[in-house]
Chain A
Amino acid sequence: SQELEQSPQSLIVQEGKNLTINCTSSKTLYGLYWYKQKYGEGLIFLMMLQKGGEEKSHEKITAKLDEKKQQSSLHITASQPSHAGIYLCGADNAGNTGKLIFGQGTTLQVKP
């Protein structure tokens, strides 16, 4: 079965710094989703990537999917305290079914 591995598991950065979170799949990704979660709350949809080499941006967050569709990165530029939370990557396990398997998450802290 497909597995997703995120790195790093946790990250502490100074406000204003850039950071990158990686998500690596053991199989070719059909669709890769990025979400943000505050502990104990719902998941906020950030971006979805489908095509090899695809890149999407929303405000200061950019996500990329590599050409082989096995690795994705999430990059935050000029981080702010509001970016703090848990970032989760999820993959559609069997091809556009809507069922997602998730990486273990990356906890981000941004120090003012």
Chain B
Amino acid sequence: GAVVSQHPSRVICKSGTSVKIECRSLDFQATTMFWYRQFPKQSLMLMATSNEGSKATYEQGVEKDKFLINHASLTLSTLTVTSAHPEDSSFYICSARDPRTGSGNTIYFGEGSWLTVV
């Protein structure tokens, strides 16, 4: 079964509102989680690294004030898209590295969340 879970799987929000997406590691603790964005028919683009107990690290070109990341516990990271606009509509997906897999550190991904801003 899934070891990384996201919620909601689909969300529709009105332009100008904020929406929160959750990413949970189910069987292990993750001090670090990662958020990606995937445009239609394209590959994944890393947005930011979520760090438990400290600020997230954002990739170049990603607006930290628009995409707020909070890593409140060792099993939960949240991505909040603030003041959403239609161009923020996308597939957002998180990942976490399973420390139980040793030096290989298998990286698992969530199911993804479809955001549609209308």
Contact = CB atoms under 8 A, between A and B. Distances in A.
B108 A45 contact: yes
A13 interface: no
Interface in A9-58: 31, 33, 35, 39-43, 45, 48, 50
A103 B97 CA distance: 19
Interface stretch (B40-48, B70-78, B79-87): B40-48
Interface string A68-112: 000000000000000000001010000011111111110000000
Q: Is the interface of B mostly helix, strand, loop or mixed?
A: strand
Given A40-B114, A48-B104, A50-B104, A98 B95 contact: yes
Contacts of B93: 42-43
B110 A48 contact: no
Nearest to B114: A40
Q: How large is the interface on A (under 10, 10 to 19, 20 to 34, 35 or more residues)?
A: 20 to 34
A38 B46 CA distance: 19
A98 B96 CA distance: 7
Given A40-B91, A41-B112, A42-B111, A102 B105 contact: no
Interface of B: 2, 6, 32, 34, 41-44, 46, 49, 91, 93, 95-97, 103-112, 114
